[in-house]
Structure 1
Amino acid sequence: MWLDNASDIDILFYEPYARIIADIAKNEKYNPLTIGVFGLWGAGKSTLLKLINEKLESQEETICVTINAWMFESYDDAKMAIIEALLLELKEKFPDDAKKKFGKLIKRVDWFKLGTKAVSTLAPVVASVAMGNPLPMLLNVTGNAEEIGNTVKSAANSIQSLKDEYWKEGDVSNDESTINNIRKFRGEFSDALKNDDIKNVVVMIDDLDRCRPERIIEILEVIKLFLSVDRTTFIIAADENVIKYSIREKYPPMNGFDVELDKEYIEKIIQLPIYIPELSAKDIQNYLLLLVTQSYLEQESFKQLIDKIFEEKRTISGDVITLEEINKLIDELGLNWQDGGKPVFNETAKIIDEIREIVASTLKGNPRQAKRFLNTFITKRQLAKIYYGDEIDISILAKLLVLQKLDNDLFIQLNEWNKEFDTENVKFKEMRMAVAQGTTVEQEPWATPQIKKWLDCKPIELEKYPLERYFYLTRENLKNSNIDQSGFSSNTKDILVRIGNAQSGGQMTAIINAAKELSSVEIGDVFKVVIPKIEKGDLKFFVIRDLFINFERFKGKISEALLKSNSKIKVGDIPVLRAMYQNDSERLEETLQKMIEKGTLSQKMLDDIKAQQKKG
């Protein structure tokens, strides 16, 4: 199994990125500096941070600290919690003569925390008693009079003792205002970092994009307001789209102003953005085969293999790494196998090798998705062994898992066809032959470039095999309508956001033009989200109209989704349906008739649509 953790071995070959970022981070001429390492979920940002950390730890005058932002998600005051965690780390790593300064800063953080929580709740209680009006406090404190008195006294003493301990007598800057405290903290933090033995402090923030929008903003602002001082470099790993969304949630666009607040905000916080490119289909093919290899070689042997591949620049050649090349390198280097050895490796690797091209096209450059697919395959293969022994053809199982990943609706349809299997799956065979000869309207969903590649994967004549056992092993997907968007490209996500925010048909022209620039895979992902929304009645009709008219390949699915919807057509929707009917009356005719039978469309409305069609 492949865990979703930062890898100890650079299978993604991010070493050049790590080298460049580490060189920038350790250069004191550039600080204070905040670097953004931007990539989609699952792109390998944590692995890259780990590589950067390894390079920086070897620098004697550089201290490197890694903070997982997600760990502070549940804290009432995440800002202060992160500052305190950083100060504690630095107190441990700095020379002894600097520890006292960090200790004093931690006490200031205690005051900040008390000021934002305890002072706001306890001080009014103390004040109410002092003013001779204890009623508000009495309504919230249980116990007898003596216990209540002790509570109030304890609260007041806690506030005063912390103030006495932090602000020494004679401190002329004894000003408790928030602005002044931030100024004092920054000054003392900067002073604490001035040490002859330490030139740079590099703080890496990971998993920021897993936090809620308000937490993301809090953490970015605490870096900018409190911590970005001389000798510091912050490296923030996140999905830029998630940060932009968080900014829009916190600071919505202003009416009448065409200002990209999210972009300007990020530019203010992040001085150096570095984008991790999505892996190409070739890269994902290599990654899949290397992941399989990793599970069968001893760790040190696998590291030697990766080093050799990098040394020979095979990752930047135009061709994928073949299974034969992998085996040749393993033999030449004399690498050691784990239990099971080479025969089991070749059995598994041969199957993955046959399907990795089509699998790579569905994973859209996402390493995490590659791991998840292989984990699913290995788990299902083990289940197949337990249930059916050697009676399962692993290549068929792998092919069906790929179809489920490509299009769960077609996966479900194949299961329905398989229920009529006698000597062969007649409907599947008819579909396969029709696609090979030039598709009909009925076979259109099976005629996309991806599905055509899937049809050509071995075994090609899938109609010859009864598939009940295979569908039993994957039965959780037969009713699963959830869509995993974590592997969607940034372009796909942008189009979906724009569709969701569209307020008029006029905005759709630009959205449609941008959508037409997407790859076939990306367009398919857009419609994976759009079609269920049409079925639920959650998509505006002018959006449905423009998608129907402009994307021929998905007209059938849009028509089916309209029929499945229980939302009744309104008079205001008639012009939209009229435009769709004028564009393709043949396709919509049956759908509209069935909508009348279902009760979501009236005969009068249909007559109006057709009457307008005749006039046109």
Structure 2
Amino acid sequence: MWPDKEAEIDYLNFGYMVDMVVDIATNRDLSPSTIGLYGDWGSGKSSLMKLAQKKIEEKNTEIGDEKDSIKTLCIEFNGWLFEGYEDTKTSLCGVILDALADEKRFSKEITDYAKTLIKKIDFNKILGKGIKYGLDFFLTGGIGALTDLTLSSVLSTIKTNVSEVQAKDLEEILNKFKKDDKTRTEIKNFREEFKQLLQKSNVENIVVFIDELDRCLPDTVLEVFEAMRLFLFVEGMSFVIGADERLIQYSIKSKYKEVPGNNLDIGKEYLEKVIQYPLYIPQLTRAEVNQYLACLLLRETLTENQFKEILSIIYTLAPNQDFSMEQISDKAPDIAESCKKDMALARQISSVLAPSINGNPRQCKRFLNTLYMRLKLAKARNVALDKNILAKLMLAEYFNPEFFKAVTKPENRELFKAFEKGEELNDDNPFAVWKEKDWVKKWMQNGTRLDEEKLDKYVYFADVKNRYGQSSLDMLSPTARKCYEQLVDGTEMNRNAALKLVDKLVPGEKAIIASEVFAVIENTSTINVEVLRSYTEFCIKAGMTEDALKKLMEQPVSKYNAVACGQLASFISNLSPDKATMFNDYLSTNPELKSTIERQARLNSIVSSNKK
């Protein structure tokens, strides 16, 4: 199995991006600099930063390990880990100074100087409240500008930008600076002293890798940015920030109001001022998902030296170029036979997985981990599962749950065999409605056939996954998980927020969310009308009305009451006339609903005639 953390081996052929980060971050002429590594959750930001750090540190090793000989000092900072413990700005400054106070790497003169500056960080803690409120004058006028400010002028400057400011806190900050010359002088000179420390240390470049910033609260995000600019933005300093650009912009917007009557995008503009060199991590193509899965599988099968041969092939591939057995046979014939099974499994999975997850590496890894967990669980129970069949069924289970249920129903077994063989299907065959769907076509063409395999054992370990802390929800990105949670909350505000996220979801995530939300409806004796509304509105927005109709009509009609029927009116209006009639006829078999449906039909008729 594979750890769900940053990798120190380049499985993704990110070498060209790593080189770019290293070139900018270690170019003193470009410093001080900030590099933004932008990508979705699980896209490989942390791995790319780890690879860049490794490359820089390998260069340091070539120079030697004598004190004061380090040319480029790499420092890691995870704002999320410090959140809630102390002022993040102080933490960032402290982590950098702690690295310079390391007696194993620097002489006593340098470490003593660094320790002196560490003590002075305490003076900076007074800025904590001010920074949290996003005081723009810190970034423009600088610390010295405080001497000329009054409370009223500060409030008038920032009230239009900041959502809430406590005048008492601001007054305390201003009074402290105006009364304490020593404190003001210490803070004003901190940057200059820090610059002198770098000069004394002989370090040409300090590269600070800031990760997980998009997980932090808006206050923390702004504190990190402003600490960089206020105290640390001196020659020789570079910051590499890995984050989802959209979430960082959201954090900024949540603290700053848009300027009325202005088309300015405050989140975008602010971020562009902070990040000088934006670098976007591309989503993996189908060929790259296949390459990544193959690397993960082969790393477990081959020896270290054999796997290096695989990487040497990977690193020669052009974008979108397939990684194939032909290339292995040509360039590494001695290991070709050992690679065949893993290469076939990677190709089988990637053809369906890639479009369902938008080429997300982390979801690839989680899929494989779940696959191997089930294989091990089955083995522990003396059950033999075919790895390729399990992978094929899991693809359906995660990304098309309704199709998975149809395939694994015992009563459908013979009907599915006819479907798998490509026979002509009559209307009574449930798979007749699936045969033209693009996703199912790809799934059917992936090279593995179910044939006579008994599927009940696969279903057993699919169903048992919840007992081991796994569920389909684990496959969701943070955005998709948030969408699901807001839908099942059932409140109007959260439902509307969830519907705004639908366009950001990939098809596989939409299918999982629809299935899991419906499970909430299905697993209660009476329908939760608010969750029912969430489900129908989500399916309308996601283009899944036909799937939703089928599921709703599978429920006992006795579960629906008049309130639920009223909540379904909007959904029914989005159906075709034939489907709407069919659904109303089904609901009308419940005597308690018949009058409600007839009354709604009369009302619709009146509204329609008035429009004419």
**Shorter-chain TM-score: which interval?**
0.7 to 0.9
For residues 319 and 591 of structure 1, what CA distance do their matches in structure 2 show? Answer: 49
- Is 1:586–2:578 an aligned residue pair? yes
Amino acid at match of 2:29: K
1:430-459 per-position Cα deviation (integer Å, ceiling 9, x unaligned): 666899779999754664312221123344
1:336-415 to 2 correspondences below 5 Å: 346-389=340-383, 391-415=384-408
Further displaced range: 530-539 or 237-246: 530-539
For residues 457 and 572 of structure 2, what CA distance do their matches in structure 1 show? Answer: 46
Further displaced range: 93-102 or 7-16: 93-102
Give 1:307's match in structure 2, choosing from 299, 312, 322: 312
Secondary structure of the residue aligned to 2:77 is strand
Give the C-alpha shift of residue 264 in structure 1: 1.7
Amino acid at match of 2:9: I
- Is 1:274–2:262 an aligned residue pair? no
Give the C-alpha shift of residue 329 in structure 1: 3.5
- Is 1:49–2:49 an aligned residue pair? yes
- Counterpart position of 1:76: 86
* Identity across the alignment (%): 26
Asked if the contact 1:414/1:428 (under 8 Å) is kept, the reply is yes
Give the C-alpha shift of residue 609 in structure 1: 5.5
Distance 1:74 1:196, change over 3 A: closer
Give 2:506's match in structure 1, choosing from 516, 522, 531: 522
1:526-564 per-position Cα deviation (integer Å, ceiling 9, x unaligned): 46546766967669989967974x87x622134357777
- Counterpart position of 1:467: 455
Give the C-alpha shift of residue 234 in structure 1: 0.5
For residues 258 and 568 of structure 2, what CA distance do their matches in structure 1 show? Answer: 32
For residues 249 and 372 of structure 2, what CA distance do their matches in structure 1 show? Answer: 37
Amino acid at match of 1:472: Y
- Counterpart position of 2:169: none
Amino acid at match of 1:589: T
Give 1:109's match in structure 2, choosing from 121, 128, 141: 121
- Counterpart position of 2:198: 193
For residues 435 and 269 of structure 2, what CA distance do their matches in structure 1 show? Answer: 44
Further displaced range: 319-328 or 271-280: 319-328
For residues 225 and 34 of structure 1, what CA distance do their matches in structure 2 show? Answer: 14
Amino acid at match of 1:522: V
- Counterpart position of 1:221: 226
1:416-431 to 2 correspondences below 5 Å: 417-418=409-410, 420=411, 425-429=413-417
1:292-331 to 2 correspondences below 5 Å: 292-310=297-315, 313-316=316-319, 319-331=321-333
Distance 1:263 1:296, change over 3 A: same
Give the C-alpha shift of residue 14 in structure 1: 0.9
Distance 1:461 1:299, change over 3 A: closer
Asked if the contact 1:404/1:477 (under 8 Å) is kept, the reply is no
- Counterpart position of 1:485: 476
Give the C-alpha shift of residue 247 in structure 1: 2.3
Asked if the contact 1:434/1:440 (under 8 Å) is kept, the reply is no
Asked if the contact 1:6/1:44 (under 8 Å) is kept, the reply is yes
Structure 1: any 5+ residue segments left out of the alignment? 118-171, 336-341
Structure 2: any 5+ residue segments left out of the alignment? 61-69, 130-178, 522-527
Secondary structure of the residue aligned to 1:194 is helix
Amino acid at match of 1:174: D
TM-score, normalisation: structure 1: 0.72
Give the C-alpha shift of residue 487 in structure 1: 8.4
Amino acid at match of 2:183: E
Secondary structure of the residue aligned to 2:2 is coil
Q: How many residues align?
A: 523
Secondary structure of the residue aligned to 1:388 is coil
Asked if the contact 2:45/2:242 (under 8 Å) is kept, the reply is yes
1:142-182 per-position Cα deviation (integer Å, ceiling 9, x unaligned): xxxxxxxxxxxxxxxxxxxxxxxxxxxxxx983435xx654
Secondary structure of the residue aligned to 1:474 is helix
For residues 127 and 607 of structure 2, what CA distance do their matches in structure 1 show? Answer: 70
1:554-576 per-position Cα deviation (integer Å, ceiling 9, x unaligned): 22134357777979669997984
For residues 587 and 255 of structure 2, what CA distance do their matches in structure 1 show? Answer: 42
- Is 1:23–2:16 an aligned residue pair? no
Query: Over the residues paired in the alignment, what is the CA RMSD in angstroms?
Result: 4.4
Distance 1:222 1:567, change over 3 A: farther
Secondary structure of the residue aligned to 1:278 is coil
- Counterpart position of 1:136: none
For residues 41 and 111 of structure 2, what CA distance do their matches in structure 1 show? Answer: 37
For residues 501 and 56 of structure 1, what CA distance do their matches in structure 2 show? Answer: 51
For residues 591 and 98 of structure 2, what CA distance do their matches in structure 1 show? Answer: 66
Distance 1:377 1:328, change over 3 A: farther
- Is 1:559–2:549 an aligned residue pair? yes
Distance 1:81 1:461, change over 3 A: closer
Give the C-alpha shift of residue 612 in structure 1: 5.1
- Counterpart position of 2:10: 10
Amino acid at match of 1:406: F
1:484-523 to 2 correspondences below 5 Å: 484-486=475-477, 522-523=506-507
For residues 182 and 566 of structure 1, what CA distance do their matches in structure 2 show? Answer: 67
Secondary structure of the residue aligned to 2:239 is strand
1:393-435 per-position Cα deviation (integer Å, ceiling 9, x unaligned): 33222211121222233323434x22x36xxx14434666899
For residues 249 and 427 of structure 2, what CA distance do their matches in structure 1 show? Answer: 42
Asked if the contact 1:31/1:230 (under 8 Å) is kept, the reply is yes
